[in-house]
Amino acid sequence: MYSAYTMKKYTVVVLIAIILLSKSTFSQTVDKLFINDVSIETSISGKLFGTLTLPENTTKKTPIALIIAGSGPTDRDGNNSMMKNNSLKLLAEQLALSGIGSVRYDKRGVAASISAARSESELRFENYINDAKDWINWIKSNHPHSKIIVIGHSEGSLIGMIAAAENANAFISIAGAGRAADVILKEQLESQPKLIKDMCFEMLDSLKIGKTKDSINPILFSLFRPSVQPYLISWFKYDPQIQIKALNKRSLIIQGNNDIQTTIEDANLLHHANPSSKLIIIDKMNHLFKLVDGDRKTNVDTYNNPNIPISPFLIESIVKFITSKDVMH
């Protein structure tokens, strides 16, 4: 007979073996996916590079999602020079393992698409919208029988809901803002000393109505330098609530309740603006799709840890939505 110690030791060994086997099996399964580098010549200027990920058993009617990254110099995998979490790469792989293909890409001026960068004074928010439209058209041309679903993460949510209006079949927002950028900036500046806050608010109000200012207080230069003002004007024009209300596509809004960048209020605002959308709140999920137990530091630590898996509830929700009759027929 086994002693209690022997049984406990045996159980631990079995658990370790199961964990190692599951990791090995997952790795082998991912290796079987069809993963190819792809590129497009944009309608504006420059070439953008991305990754096409398809399931092992791909058919002509395999649905394909366009995954649009969030703000800043975020690449196709969800990373930048300061952090590596592989959030978008993991999302693409998990979708493919569930029968859904995807295209994700390096934004204009980022990673492999660095040569497509525009000067700061020439860059407009519409450039990102048109780039997403170009990728949608690429999918439509190369996979004419596939349903196209746009998945926008964070700032990519606003870009995606605008780009999806023409040739996409459905739209998914993950951690998308529910308020216009100028409103969010005002909220972020609320804690500044009154003098600085008043100057910032005056500048934001001016840009909101399309008026630039050449004379900028040095204190505000990093945020409102003349070369960046045209981009801010182009960005402030788009209110996510107005855009999603006008979107005549099946829509899914997903938000984690442990997100320290966007909130459940943002998700509710988007859902209320488009009541026909489906709203899902995922418990413990943070901004990068990871499930987090712990304080803010624990949450932030996940931003630079590519080994933490993304929420299975996120994948389950997306797959259920995409494979529903409302989207596939």
User: pLDDT tens, position by position, for the chain (329 residues)?
Assistant: 334 333 333 334 433 333 343 443 344 467 789 999 999 999 888 999 999 999 999 999 999 999 999 999 999 999 999 999 999 999 999 999 999 999 999 999 999 999 999 999 999 999 999 999 999 999 999 999 999 999 999 999 999 999 999 999 999 999 999 999 999 999 999 999 999 999 999 999 999 999 999 999 999 999 999 999 999 999 999 999 999 999 999 999 999 999 999 999 999 999 999 999 999 999 999 999 999 999 999 999 999 999 999 999 999 999 999 999 999 98
Phi/psi-derived region of residue 261, left when phi > 0, alpha when psi is between -120 and 50, beta in every other case = alpha
Backbone angles phi and psi of 207, in degrees to 5? -65, -35
175 CB neighbour count, 10 Å cutoff: 26
Domains in the chain, please, with CATH? 32-180+238-328 (3.40.50.1820), 184-229 (no CATH)
Pairing between strand 148-153 and 170-174? parallel
18 CB neighbour count, 10 Å cutoff: 10
The DSSP-derived string for 279-306 is EEEETTB-TTS-B--S-HHHHHHGGG-T
57 CB neighbour count, 10 Å cutoff: 8
What ranges in 111-152 are assigned the alpha helix state H? 125-142
Q: Which residue's entry shows tokens 């040095």?
A: 218
Contact 321, 314 (CB under 8 A): no
Interacting residues of 141 by C-beta distance below 8 A, sequence separation 6+: none
Contact 290, 308 (CB under 8 A): yes
For residues 14 and 7, give the distance between their C-alpha atoms in angstroms, rounded to a whole number: 10
pLDDT recorded at residue 329: 86
pLDDT recorded at residue 19: 37
Interacting residues of 92 by C-beta distance below 8 A, sequence separation 6+: 51, 53, 67, 102, 104
Contact 150, 171 (CB under 8 A): yes
For residues 315 and 237, give the distance between their C-alpha atoms in angstroms, rounded to a whole number: 32
113 CB neighbour count, 10 Å cutoff: 23
pLDDT recorded at residue 154: 98
